[in-house]
Amino acid sequence: MNQVAQPQFRHTPVLVDEVCALLLTDRSGIYVDGTFGLGGHSKAISSRLNADATLIGIDQDESALTQFDPSLVQQTLHLRCTNFENLDQVLNDLKLTQVHGILLDLGLNSFSLDDPERGFAFSLSGPLDMRFDRSNELTAETVVNEYSQEQLAEIIYRYGEERNSRRIARRIVEMRTTKRLTQSNELRDAVARSVDPRFRNKSLARVFQAFRIEVNREIAVLETVLNKAVDVLAPGGRLAVISYHSLEDRMVKTHFRDLSQDVPRQPGMLDSEIKIPVLKRITGKPVIASSEEVALNPRARSAKLRVAERTSHAAN
């Protein structure tokens, strides 16, 4: 990334002090910010590392990466525009095999959320896009107009956990028979006409979240990166994940739990049934933002931080 633009947007990263306290185990180590965004977490991490440390920033949104000024960090900084599911390839290209810490902040940065042209926010009018990587072909417009009513209902229910999923899907299909839906306000109208006004904003948030997850394959990508992250952690290295909705948090919780289980050999057990813990959970319950932080940054309200450490005896 050679092009550097002066920052035009402000983004307040969540749980900064907590992330730094729990993630950093070697102040001269190699750390990956897999969801770099505007670099808020990375700047805070940099301020707590020695000058000989290395930072790697990954983000699939090139327009966000170009907002960052590399002179704001004192360490060697590598920025890569790609999906974090390609973590292993990024490290291979840098001739690195292990890192000391990986941060994944699964929230949407304010730079993208507040841009009406991206279509992420139901409160703003703009095209039905919702792509993190704008070179990808699939957009929310395609999903809304070309998926079947059953597919739409399943996406809204599974990824948005919205109980009115069938009613909303039916309304979308009715509306698109008249004209192709291309604007976020049209999707907003379909949802608003399908739910109780008292719960309208919650339903809107869930539906827009669901389509965003589908467009960007977020669940499949998260599963991939969780596995790859554990593989590249050095013994004693840590993985920190900040999630913002229950579906993601359950995935992280389950992943950390399963890889931290110790199942010693018992008489008659198959080798495949023996489990040596690969991870040690550093956080039991997720770390959440303080009331003071939420007051300053309302978007921190739903953030949940979980951290796990690679065990020293795990096989590489």
Statement to judge: residues 83 and 149 lie in one domain: no
Statement to judge: residues 224 and 206 lie in one domain: no
Statement to judge: residues 223 and 104 lie in one domain: yes
What is the domain-level CATH number for residue 265? 3.40.50.150
What is the domain-level CATH number for residue 119? 1.10.150.170
- Find the domain containing 252 and state its range: 16-111+219-310
Statement to judge: residues 134 and 66 lie in one domain: no
Statement to judge: residues 146 and 157 lie in one domain: yes
Statement to judge: residues 224 and 213 lie in one domain: no
pLDDT at 263: 55
* 255 domain residue, yes or no: yes
Contacts of 73 (CB under 8 A, 6+ apart): 39, 42, 43, 46, 55
Q: Are 310 and 277 in contact (CB under 8 A)?
A: no
Statement to judge: residues 210 and 127 lie in one domain: yes
Strands 304-310 and 279-281: antiparallel
pLDDT greater than 50 at residue 316: no
Statement to judge: residues 38 and 95 lie in one domain: yes
Q: How confident is the model at residue 267 (pLDDT cuts 50, 70, 90)?
A: low
Of 79-93, 212-226, 259-273, 289-303, where does mean pLDDT reach its minimum? 259-273
Mean pLDDT of 71-92: 96
Counting every residue written for the chain, the total comes to 316
Boundary (domain end) residue, out of 217, 245, 274:
217
Please report, for residues 45, 109, 115, 295, the alpha-carbon distance to residue 9 in angstroms, rounded to integers and kept in the order given.
20, 10, 10, 20
Q: Which of 223-227, 259-263, 269-273 has the highest mean pLDDT?
A: 223-227
Rounded Cα distance, 316 and 311, in Å = 10
Output the six-digit token pair for 46: 């940099």
* 253 domain residue, yes or no: yes
* 94 domain residue, yes or no: yes
Of 104-113, 152-161, 292-301, where does mean pLDDT reach its minimum? 104-113
pLDDT at 20: 98
Boundary (domain end) residue, out of 217, 240, 261:
217
Statement to judge: residues 175 and 33 lie in one domain: no
Boundary (domain end) residue, out of 184, 217, 250:
217
Statement to judge: residues 223 and 213 lie in one domain: no
Statement to judge: residues 123 and 212 lie in one domain: yes
pLDDT greater than 80 at residue 70: yes
